[in-house]
Amino acid sequence: MPVVYKKQDGTITIHTRNTSYQMKIGPLGLLLHTYYGPTINTDAGCSLVYRDRGFSPNPYDAGIDRTISADTLPLEYSCEAAGDYRAPALSINRKDGFMTGDMRYEGHQVVSGKYSLPGMPAVYADEAEAETLIVTLKEKNTGLKAVLKYGVLPELDVITRTAEIINGTSETVIISQAASAAVDIMTSADWDLIHFSGRHAGERTPYRTEIAQRETVISSRRGISSHHQNPFVILAEKETNEQYGQCIGMNLLWSGSFAANVSKDSYGSVHAVMGIQPDRFDYPLEPGESFIAPEIALTFSNEGLGRLSRNYHKLIAEHVCRGPWKNRRRPVLINNWEATEMNFTGEKIISIAKKAGELGVEMLVLDDGWFGKRDDDFAGLGDWYVNTNKLGCTMGELAEEVRKMGMKFGFWIEPEMVNEDSDLYREHPDWAFAAPDIDPIRDRYQLVLDFSREEVVDHVLDQICEVIDDCKADYIKMDMNRPLFDIYSRTAEYQSRGRLMYKYVLGVYRFMEKLLERYPDLLLEGCSGGGGRFDAGMLYYCPQIWCSDNTDAIDRVRIQYGTSFAYPIRTMGAHVSACPNYDTKRYVPIDTRAVVAMEGTFGYELDLNRLSEKEMKQVTAQIETFKKYWNILHCGLYYRLTDVMENRQEAAWMMVSEDGSEALLNIVTLDVTGNKPNRFIRCAGLDPDASYRDDETGMVYSGNLLMSTGLLMPMRAVEGHNLVTTPPEYDAFQIHFTKI
């Protein structure tokens, strides 16, 4: 059974295939976290240390026993009011400002199946695939409760967590922190924190730092998960690498502001708390109301970072992403943005589509500039009606012409935003987040619509649905190009920043849910200036997200590398773009661009009419290669073979079918030197006792040799000569192995 309760020692243990997670009902009803790691069948409470620690307070009902302190014991859901000076999971104040919320164990139950969350993303599973543990904590002196829910997916080694805070008192309380989970590690081993930081056009760079006696906070205050930090962190033992060592992942299914607070306390224990960003999170909870924290997915690996990533890949691909597109090959698309920006006509779009169709592209996507008076960033957002003067036709007529070429059709939207120069803003200025007496902060010359209000969401949705109905769109790219700042709603008497930002994110989720309910076959791609909202919460609605606005293949190698630690390949929007590159001005061979883009959904972001005849033939061949290998590319087990942040020579990654019958090795050279030493690429995930044939050369290798010694870095013949040479800078190789 996944959940085992032993009354004699007060332990509640969650078992998955390879791991155990244990909590213990401690003295005075304090619920203590005792273990998360490889499978155990004993009480891990022997690791608990009860000592009289100076300057660590004791509960009043402990009497003269000074060994009991929430400040030094690992609380399963740490509460500030219990006397815990570490980063709390829960912090609540009464209206008079006095802290409350000393939570004690009241009871628990186990139900079959996986819980869901109203209006929020959550991992889903069939009843036979999961169990739910529900633990109720009750405030010692009042009617406040915290209901902790644990979703257990044993076969995936995943445990999800959420918390519902219920105000059973007769007065309003203010929540200032209600995290999704806290995790404590009681060990003398040294642990590191791995987080994924960056910027617009440079997202999700992995950073690894020692967990020391200081608080390290990884967070976004921007109202979105952000380009700058990602709501995913890893706690890893010091020596953990791709294949060896212990690590714990914490992946938050939330698309708004978040925070992860990680520290080591004075006695050597690691303490990690993750959930909604607590800064200025004043959330008033009226009597009888409840607050639900977003879900967090935890996984433990005893086989390094690679195993942890593959746990998340399977979880997200099969139990977060939904709808008919989650397991289907995505159509190879062409997007017009880098070819035209907003300077296009219907005739120009048809020209791009015609050439794309001839070369094998399967869908055209019309990007920003098709609506309202939208010829630049300064106007039009909010007016979701087709600019027929610009297109020279209706959207339906344009889509019909594209479909005559054998392609699907889609278009770009940014529903959460409004320009002041728009009909919508002139009619409803009160629908934007802005105080009536203060000039708002602009970003990209746009304001944010108040999506905490249902009437605003419904108005925008109805407008966009009219366009979808006209053109029968197959695909929507949903963008969001500025963070939140002026959080002020004209409908709220009390301007609670925390409540409004929480309700705003729920409004975004509601928009997407209603869109997909109305168009169940629609392929919805998420975007926020590229990767500014690349999180598991968005993937519940969008099976793919535009990975970054930076389409430079060499930069993308590193961006996609960092993204792969938490998110599966099939979720990364990736395109072959023109060279010199739109952002970096770097030139990379078109076949290398394709190899990198196949580590994603695969498509094109350029005017194919401008390619040479040779390049056009290469595009046709690339599309055929993608179709041929899409199953292993998107459904195979993913292995990072090189650390591209440290190894500046080459990047290598591979996909292996679950049965080990085939593998696809991908290599991109990043730098070249004269008289280069021999370099070998060690493969992973193969059957060590089997032989594998390189389908192009016919060479046969043992699986064990490919994984221990590795494959000698390939050499390429110089055009016009019989010689072979060191691969040029930015060259790429794609090697398909078949098990024989």
d(CA 152, CA 212): 31
d(CA 738, CA 573): 28
What would the two tokens of residue 239 be?
Answer: 């020596």
Q: Is cis: bond before 580, omega within 30 of 0?
A: yes
Rg for the chain, CA atoms, rounded:
27
What one-character DSSP code corresponds to residue 738? E
Strand, coil or helix: 519: coil
d(CA 433, CA 416): 11
What would the two tokens of residue 689 be?
Answer: 């006792």
Strand, coil or helix: 244: coil
How far CA 331 is from CA of 401, 569, 634, in Å, comes to 18, 15, 13
Determine the residue type at 109. Q
Which of these is catalytic: 184, 421, 535, 662? 535
The candidate with the shortest Cα–Cα distance to 300, out of 327, 272, 275, 326, is 272
Which residues have a Cβ under 8 Å from the Cβ of 579 and sit 6 or more positions away? 586, 587, 588, 590, 593
First to last CA, the chain: 39
The candidate with the shortest Cα–Cα distance to 271, out of 282, 262, 260, is 262
683 contacts 697 by C-beta, under 8 angstroms: no
Strand, coil or helix: 309: helix
Query: Is 423 assigned a catalytic role?
Result: no
Query: Is 521 assigned a catalytic role?
Result: no
284 contacts 496 by C-beta, under 8 angstroms: yes
Determine the residue type at 415. P
Which of these is catalytic: 615, 687, 694, 729? 615
d(CA 561, CA 205): 8
Residue 425: its H or E element: helix 423-427
d(CA 325, CA 435): 41
Question: Catalytic residue numbers?
Answer: 535, 615
